A and B are shown apart, each in its own frame.
Chain A
Amino acid sequence: MTLTEARPVKAEPPVHKPSTRKRLVPYWLLVPGILWLLVFFALPLVYQASTSLQTGSLEAGFKVTWHFRTYLDAFGEYWPQFVRSLLYAGTATILCLLLGYPLAYLIAFKAGRWRNLVLVLVIAPFFTSFLIRTLAWKTILADGGPVVDVLNTLHILDLTDFLGWTEGSRLLATPLAVVCGLTYNFLPFMILPLYTSLERIDGKLHEAAGDLYASPATTFRKVTFPLSMPGVVSGTLLTFIPAAGDYVNAELLGSTDTKMVGSVIQSQFLRVLDYPTAAALSFILMAIVLVMVTVYMRKSGTEDLV
């Protein structure tokens, strides 16, 4: 695979030798933004870490007691929701890749003068609030609706019932509906990075592969796909991470049997007001996601995404 050497080499940013007077300039530029992130992103995580180790009640107040049991108890009680979250998010990510790749490929290589229009169509749904669009899926997947009717006539729902993806020959309030909603909601996050990395590929490489008697399939497998790996990596991350923490799809399109860990954190925090458990749960989620992201990035050899 010598062709990967054609990957564009990132140019070193120009380095200015600053005079003493100007040496502080970068710090003045950085301070406001970095301070904002430190105070409103990093500091809250510290607060949450301390909250997760507190015990007490809303009336008596909470105190840090280094009560690590909260983590065990929280995970012991809600591990099905964790497993479900990772399973649904993982499935949605794979579906996004399978559905998104042809469209990104279409925009990058086949759309010609329609390219901008298709790109606009990919981004445009963003501008209708995603909650409204998710509610529209309630109409599309409704019992007695055309989708359910067709799938029933073809006995596909019997098969999915058998597999446990759906229940009672309906789509709403089933895992399938939740995965469908997740896939739908995060598809643009997959398509845009894929498109960006596909678009950078030099068309001459395709010609060269063709000249060397590679079939289109071989060209794709040996040239196009490897070169689009940065897009695949950042696309899968941008899809998986928000999907794993999402609870909107599970709440709107699912049932109590499809609750994801986001739902639990939300209700512990805002309804049950059990802050330590909620904090512990969200830390476990964060740890799982960060570990998976780190391992994945190491494996795929893409270290910088910013």
Chain B
Amino acid sequence: MTQLSKRPVTWLRRNLVVIAGLLTLAYMILPNVVVMVFSFNKPNGRFNYAWQQFSLDAWKDPCGVADLCGSLALSLQLGFWAMLGATVLGTMVAFALVRYRFRARGAINSLIFLPMAMPEVVMAASLLTLFLNMGAPLGFWTVLIAHIMFCLSFVVTAVKARVMSMDPRLEEAARDLYAGPLQTFLRVTLPIAAPGIAAGALLAFSLSFDDFIITNFNAGSTVTFPMFVWGSAQRGTPVQINVIGTAMFVIAVLVVLGGQLLASRRKNSAAPE
């Protein structure tokens, strides 16, 4: 009886959380829906903010705006190299931090934490000061240096979490079975750490690809995709921006869902641990 009378309250409470959560989710997804819908718009004038009429023009000609696809290619390139650089350097640091004891550990930990706890505009301004003082020409290389710098800490954090939860007995077992240090690393350690490294790499790519503030300070006259969008907010927003935004969204969702499908299938086919 008490259970029965309690049920509607419990039901309401349970669904309150669900409803609130779904509303938040809607708030987060709404702009993407708007971006998608407005990629089919045929705006009246230079700005694509008000709905006029349905059109496929922009989808048929995604590179139809001067410099748009060039900036996109540049951002993809930057994202790739920043990902590579930050992942290699960050993974090395993460392994050193988890596996070894050494002096200045605390200082190194704070050096890794601080870039994440620093407003972007501060890092952007100070890095520009350095480049100006050294007389370094602003462009692709200065942006790449900056991107590797702020992605590094995130890679370290992601890889560290994974390596820390690794069972050291697995490596001991490999050594007991006469695997050399290199063999142990390549065939045991690396495969176990791989998800952490992959997560760090993915994070680095998306951070670099989407970065605006640090890039804007240090790019000189080089224009990345976010900078192109920023400029277009002043000059006029071509529909093609929405096309590219939508395409990236769809591709990303498909890649992530595909990866999860693959992972769950692999988990199902593998023998239970």
Chain A interface (Cβ < 8 Å from any Cβ of B): 11, 13-16, 18, 25-27, 29-30, 32-34, 36-38, 40-45, 47-48, 51, 99-100, 102-107, 110, 116-118, 120-140, 142, 184, 187-188, 216-217, 237-238, 241-242, 244-248, 252, 262, 265-266, 269-270, 275, 278-279, 282-283, 285-286, 289-290, 293, 304-306
| A275 pairs with B129, CB closer than 8 A | yes
Dominant secondary structure at the B interface: helix
Closest to A15 in B: B101
Which residues of chain A are near B122, meaning CB under 8 Å?
245, 265, 282-283, 285-286
Asked if B95 CB lies within 8 Å of chain A CBs, one says: yes
Alpha-carbon separation in the docked complex, A130 to B246 (Å): 12
Chain B interface (Cβ < 8 Å from any Cβ of A): 10, 13-14, 17-18, 20-25, 27-32, 34-35, 38, 49-50, 89-90, 92-93, 95-102, 108-109, 111-123, 125-130, 132-133, 145-146, 148-149, 152-153, 156-157, 160, 164, 168, 206, 209-210, 212-213, 216-217, 225-226, 229-230, 233, 237, 241-242, 245-246, 248-249, 251-253, 256-257, 260
Alpha-carbon separation in the docked complex, A36 to B109 (Å): 14
**Contact among A121, A275, A306 with B160 in the assembled complex (CB-CB below 8 Å):** A306
**Contact among A30, A120, A142, A283 with B253 in the assembled complex (CB-CB below 8 Å):** A120
Closest to A14 in B: B168
| A41 pairs with B119, CB closer than 8 A | no
Which residues of chain A are near B252, meaning CB under 8 Å?
124, 126-127
- The distance from the CB of A284 to the nearest CB of chain B, in whole angstroms, is 10
**Contact among B21, B152, B164 with A37 in the assembled complex (CB-CB below 8 Å):** B152
Residue among B28, B122, B123, B206 with the highest chain A CB neighbour number at 10 A: B122
Which residues of chain A are near B206, meaning CB under 8 Å?
126-127
Dominant secondary structure at the A interface: helix
| B113 pairs with A32, CB closer than 8 A | no
| B27 pairs with A137, CB closer than 8 A | no
Closest to B98 in A: A13
| B229 pairs with A135, CB closer than 8 A | yes
Which residues of chain A are near B21, meaning CB under 8 Å?
102-107, 110
Which residues of chain A are near B209, meaning CB under 8 Å?
129
